[in-house]
Amino acid sequence: MASLVGSRVERKEDKKLLTGRGRYTADVNFVHQTFAYFVRSPHARAQIKKVDTSKALKSPGVVSILTGADIVNDKIGGLIAGWRIKSEDGSDMKVPPHPPLASDTVNYVGDHVAVVIAETLDEARNAAELVKVDYKILKAVVSTKDAMSSDQIYKDIPKNMCFDWLLGDRAKVKEAFDKADKIIKIDLVNNRLIPNAMEPRAANADYNPSTEEITLYTTSQNPHLARIIISAFNGVAPENKLRVIAPDVGGGFGSKIYPYAEEVVCSWAAKKIERPVKWVADRTESFLSDCHGRDHVTHAELAVKNDGTFLGFKNETIANLGAYASVFGTVTPTYLFGPCATGVYKMPAAYSNVKAVYTNTAPVDAYRGAGRPEATYTIETLVEKAARELGMDPAEIRMKNFPTQFPFQQTLVHSVDSGDYVGGLNKAMEIADYKGFEKRKRESASKGKLRGIGLCSYFEACGIAPSPVVMMLGCGIGLWESAEVRFNPTGNVTVFTGSHSHGQGHDTTFAQIAADQLGVPIENIEIAHGDTDKGPFGYGTYGSRSLTVGGTAIVKACDKIIAKGKRVAAKMLEASVDDIEFSNGEFVVAKSNKKKTIGEVAFACYLPGTYGEVKSPLPEGDEPGLKETSFFDPVNFSFPAGSHICEVEVDPDTGETKLVKYTAVDDFGTIINPLVVEGQVHGGLAQGIGQALYENCHYDESGQLITASYMDYTMPRADNFPEFNLGFTCTPATSNPLGTKGCGEAGAIAAPPAVMNAVMNAIGTEISMPATAEKVWKACNKNKKRNSEAA
C-alpha cells in the first residue's frame, strides 16, 4: 500500500460543506427552543445604578430576563484568566473580576448587562430595547500608550497595570550595548485587529430535567476546555452533567479557544428555565465582543557591530489586555511573545519587558500567531533598519546572524531542535528573483511607480505543549493531547482526537496518518472530534498544535494497537510474538506466508470464545476488544521557520500600494498533506497582509468602536492579493515521531514585516500599519515636499 503521508489527498470533510450539509451551531435547533438576546453596555465605562426589567418582562413572548443580580444570587463564577504571570518584582498579576453579566460596572462597549429570553428572536430583541439601565458614565481609558497614566479603572489595580514582566537579563544587555558600534532604535505600534471568523459565535444549550444534564452546542475550538471552565469556574453544572459539542465550526483563529459570557449564560439559563436557549451573534456583536488581537506599543533597540553582527536586543512593550484578562490574554504578550522577539538570530544578550494594561475596550486574546507576529514584526523591521543604517543588503545582514548549528539554544528560552535558515532564505531569494529587483524597480519608476522589496526571516515556537514547561511558566492547565483509536468489530476504525478541526482538515490529515500506521484504507477511518461525550478529554486546537501533539497521540495509540495485534496474531497463527512482523495492515510470521490481516485480528479480539469455527484467539492476560488510548505530552515545542519576500508597487499620486509579488519559503518539517499545508500558508498570509495593509480596529476617545461592521473594518478581499509563490524546505522536527512542525500561523507571523519592509523600501519613510492609501500618500507627499525644499 502506497504511503498516504505526503500525498495531496482531497479532503474527506469537503462534500458535506460543499453541498450545504455542514452543521454549524446556528443550524442546530431544539424543540421548544427559546431565543436569547443580550443587553449590552453602550458605554465604555460606567457604573450600573439600576437595571429595570419591569416593562420588558411584559413585552410579548418574553420567557425570562436575567441580570447580574441573578448571577450573584446563583453564585455563578466569573470568566477566567488561564495563565498566571508574575511581575519582575515577583508580585502576582492583578486581575479584575469578570462576571458573565455585570452587576456594578461595565467596562467596554458591548459588555454584558442582561439577557432577554423569549419565544422568538424578534420578541427577545424587541423586549431588550425595553430593559432600562441607569448608568453613571465614567471617563473611559482607551489609549494603550497612556493607560498607565489615565484614570484608574479598577479599585485594586493601580496604573491599570496587570503586570510588569521581564524575560532576560538587563545587566548583560547593558554590557552588550556598551560594546556596540551602533544602536538601532525603533518605535512601533502593532495595530489592534479583530479576528473575524466568518461564522459568528453562537450557542444553543439544552437542559434535560430527567438526567439533569446540559448539552451545549457552541462555536468552539476547544469543547473540552469550555466544559471544564463552565463547570469548575462558572459552576453552572458538574463536568459529568455538562456535554459540550462543537459541531462544524466556521473558523476560529484564536477567538473561539475559550468560552465567553454568552455560553455560560445560555447554559445556566437553560437549566433555570428548563428549556433550550439559543443565541447567535450578529456581526456587530462579534466585532464588539469577540476577543481582539495584537495591540502593542513597542520601543526596541538592537546593538550591532559595524560589520552587521548583532550584539544585543532590548524590547519595552506596553500590551493592551482590554477590559478583562481573558484566558490566553496574559500569556500572549509574554511567553508567546518575549522568547521570539530576538528573531531567528544569534543574539548574545536580550531582554523583553512587557507592561500589560487594562483599558475600556474589548478583551484582547490570542489571534492567529498570538505574540509571535508582534515579536517578528519588532525584530524584522529593526533588522531591516539596521541594514539600511549600516549600508548592508537586508539579506546579507540576516545571513550573517543566522545560527547554523542545531540544536540551537535561542537567547531567551527555546532550544530549537532543527532548522536550515540559510537554505530557506537562499531558496526564497531564488524564487523571488531577488537579484532581478533593481531592474524591476527601474521599470516601475519609468511608469511613475515606486517599487519596494521587503524581507522577513522568522522562527516561531508552536505546537504549544510540554505540560511541565507551560505549567512552570504559569499555565493553569496541561497541554498534552489525547487520541483513542477504536477498531470496530467489522474492521473499520474510529479515531477520537481531543483536538478540534474548524477548517484545518483533521478529518483527512489525521486519517492519512492512521491509514499509514494501521494499513487500513482511508475511507474506512473516521476521525471524531468536537464532542466531550465522545472520546477522552483533550486540549483543542490553537498554537499550531493539533498535528504535532494530537497527531502524535494518534501514532502512539496505533503503536499500542499494533502491539496487542501482534500478541493476538501470534496466538492465531501459533507463532511466537517475537516472530510477528506488521506492515501494510498484515501480521506476518517471519520467513513464512502465514499471516492475518489487521481486520481479522480486530474481529477475533471481539469474539473471545469458541463458537463453531471461531476459536478464542486471546492470549492469556489480554482483555477482549481492540481499542487503545494515548495521552501524548511532547518534550518540546515545534519550531517552524522560513523566509518571506514581498514586492510592492506604490503609486505616489494615490498612495495605493499594490502587492505585486509574494514569496514564502517555509520549513514545517515533514508535511502530511501538501494541499492542506499550502492552504494554511495562503490563509495565514492573507491575514498577515491584511494587518499590514488594510485591517485596523479603531476605538474613538470615548471608547466607542468605530470599526464595528464590514463597512468600516477592512476585510481583505479576493482582489487584494496576487498569486502567492510558495516553497518549502524540510528539516524534520526531532520532538515528535512524525517530524512535523506547526504550519497554521506562519503566514500571519511572517507577512506583516515582509510587507511593511517592502512599503518602507518603496517610499523611503517609516510608516505604521496598516499602510493605507491615505497614510502612504501623505508620506509620499511629505517626501516630495522635503525633496523640493532641499533642491
Of 7, 33, 152, 284, which one interacts with another protein (CB under 8 A)? Answer: 284
The answer to whether 645 and 453 have CB atoms below 8 angstroms apart is yes
Of 83, 163, 207, 253, which one interacts with another protein (CB under 8 A)? Answer: 253
What is the sign of the dihedral through the CA atoms of 151, 155, 158 and 162? negative
Q: How far is the CB of 501 from another protein (least distance, A)?
A: 9
Give the largest CA-CA distance in the chain: 103
**Under rule CB under 8 A, which residues in 716-735 are in contact with another protein?**
717-719, 721, 723-724
Closest CB to another protein among residues 419, 503: 503
Of 18, 137, 635, 706, which one interacts with another protein (CB under 8 A)? Answer: 18
119 makes contact with another protein (CB under 8 A): no
Amino acid (1-letter code) at residue 109? V
Cα Rg for the chain, rounded, in angstroms?
A: 28
How many CA atoms lie less than 13 Å away from 611 in the CB half-sphere? 5
530 makes contact with another protein (CB under 8 A): no
Closest CB to another protein among residues 323, 751: 751
Of 6, 42, 97, 251, which one interacts with another protein (CB under 8 A)? Answer: 251
Of 197, 341, 382, 473, which one interacts with another protein (CB under 8 A)? Answer: 197
Choose the stretch contacting another protein; rule: CB under 8 A; options: 7-15, 105-113, 384-392, 778-786. Answer: 7-15
612 makes contact with another protein (CB under 8 A): no
Q: What is the spatial distance between Cα 223 and Cα 257, in angstroms, rounded to a whole number? A: 8
Q: How far is the CB of 168 from another protein (least distance, A)?
A: 35
Amino acid (1-letter code) at residue 490? T
**Under rule CB under 8 A, which residues in 674-693 are in contact with another protein?**
675-676, 678-679, 682-687
254 makes contact with another protein (CB under 8 A): no
∠ Cα 702 337 706 (to 5°): 20
Closest CB to another protein among residues 253, 632: 253
Q: Give the count of beta carbons closer than 10 Å to the beta carbon of residue 789.
A: 7
Which whole-number Å values give the CA distances from 669 to 10, 249, 633, 729, in the listed order?
21, 28, 19, 8
Q: CB under 8 Å to 411, separation ≥6 — which residues?
A: 168, 313, 342, 347, 348, 349, 350
In this structure, what are the phi and psi dihedrals at residue 69, rounded to the nearest 5 degrees?
-60, -40
The answer to whether 643 and 457 have CB atoms below 8 angstroms apart is yes
Q: How far is the CB of 36 from another protein (least distance, A)?
A: 16
Choose the stretch contacting another protein; rule: CB under 8 A; options: 153-161, 449-457, 712-720, 762-770. Answer: 712-720
27 makes contact with another protein (CB under 8 A): yes
Q: What is the spatial distance between Cα 676 and Cα 467, in angstroms, rounded to a whole number? A: 28
Residues in the chain: 791
Q: What is the spatial distance between Cα 337 and Cα 653, in angstroms, rounded to a whole number? A: 38
Torsion of CA 498, 502, 506, 508, to 10 degrees: 150
Q: How far is the CB of 284 from another protein (least distance, A)?
A: 7
Site map for another protein, 200-219, x if CB under 8 A? x-------------------
* Phi/psi-derived region of residue 295, left when phi > 0, alpha when psi is between -120 and 50, beta in every other case: left
Q: How far is the CB of 579 from another protein (least distance, A)?
A: 44
Closest CB to another protein among residues 326, 508: 508
**Under rule CB under 8 A, which residues in 452-511 are in contact with another protein?**
502-505
Q: How far is the CB of 783 from another protein (least distance, A)?
A: 31
Q: What is the spatial distance between Cα 1 and Cα 519, in angstroms, rounded to a whole number? A: 7
Q: How far is the CB of 372 from another protein (least distance, A)?
A: 19
Q: What is the spatial distance between Cα 44 and Cα 700, in angstroms, rounded to a whole number? A: 10
Decide: helix, strand or coil at residue 518. Answer: helix
Question: What's the grid cell of residue 437?
Answer: 529587483
Choose the stretch contacting another protein; rule: CB under 8 A; options: 93-101, 192-200, 465-473, 614-622. Answer: 192-200
Q: What is the spatial distance between Cα 723 and Cα 293, in angstroms, rounded to a whole number? A: 27
Closest CB to another protein among residues 371, 683: 683
Q: How far is the CB of 162 from another protein (least distance, A)?
A: 29
Choose the stretch contacting another protein; rule: CB under 8 A; options: 19-27, 87-95, 259-267, 338-346. Answer: 19-27
343 makes contact with another protein (CB under 8 A): no
Of 111, 164, 199, 206, which one interacts with another protein (CB under 8 A)? Answer: 199
Question: What's the grid cell of residue 679?
Answer: 492552504
The answer to whether 36 and 116 have CB atoms below 8 angstroms apart is yes
∠ Cα 86 90 91 (to 5°): 70
Q: How far is the CB of 350 from another protein (least distance, A)?
A: 33
257 makes contact with another protein (CB under 8 A): no
Of 404, 709, 781, 787, which one interacts with another protein (CB under 8 A)? Answer: 709
- Using the 8-state DSSP alphabet, how is residue 697 labeled? -
**Under rule CB under 8 A, which residues in 745-764 are in contact with another protein?**
747
Closest CB to another protein among residues 212, 282: 282
431 makes contact with another protein (CB under 8 A): no
Question: What's the grid cell of residue 114?
Answer: 442582561
Amino acid (1-letter code) at residue 434? Y
Of 742, 400, 372, which Cα lies nearest the Cα of 551? 742
Residue indicated by cell numbers 504535532: 548
Amino acid (1-letter code) at residue 745? E
Torsion of CA 534, 536, 537, 541, to 10 degrees: -70
Q: How far is the CB of 708 from another protein (least distance, A)?
A: 10
Closest CB to another protein among residues 174, 682: 682
Closest CB to another protein among residues 720, 765: 720
249 makes contact with another protein (CB under 8 A): yes
661 makes contact with another protein (CB under 8 A): no
Which whole-number Å values give the CA distances from 198 to 121, 177, 323, 494, 693, in the listed order?
21, 47, 24, 29, 20
Choose the stretch contacting another protein; rule: CB under 8 A; options: 18-26, 99-107, 229-237, 385-393. Answer: 18-26
User: With contacts defined by CB under 8 A, how many residues of the chain interact with another protein?
Assistant: 53
> Integer distance in angstroms from the first to the last C-alpha of the chain?
73
Q: Which residues pair with 271 in a beta bridge?
A: none
Choose the stretch contacting another protein; rule: CB under 8 A; options: 245-253, 398-406, 481-489, 762-770. Answer: 245-253
For 755-785, b where at least 16 C-beta lie within 10 A, e where not — what string?
bbbbbbbbbeeebebbbbeebbbebbeeeee
Closest CB to another protein among residues 42, 251: 251
Q: How far is the CB of 689 from another protein (least distance, A)?
A: 8
Choose the stretch contacting another protein; rule: CB under 8 A; options: 168-176, 427-435, 636-644, 706-714. Answer: 706-714
Of 182, 241, 272, 283, which one interacts with another protein (CB under 8 A)? Answer: 283
Question: What's the grid cell of residue 380?
Answer: 524584522
247 makes contact with another protein (CB under 8 A): no
Q: What is the spatial distance between Cα 114 and Cα 124, in angstroms, rounded to a whole number? A: 12
369 makes contact with another protein (CB under 8 A): no
Of 15, 132, 170, 785, which one interacts with another protein (CB under 8 A)? Answer: 15
Q: By the criterion CB under 8 A, which residues form the site for another protein?
A: 10-11, 13-15, 17-24, 26-27, 196-200, 248-251, 253, 282-284, 502-505, 675-676, 678-679, 682-687, 709-711, 715, 717-719, 721, 723-724, 747
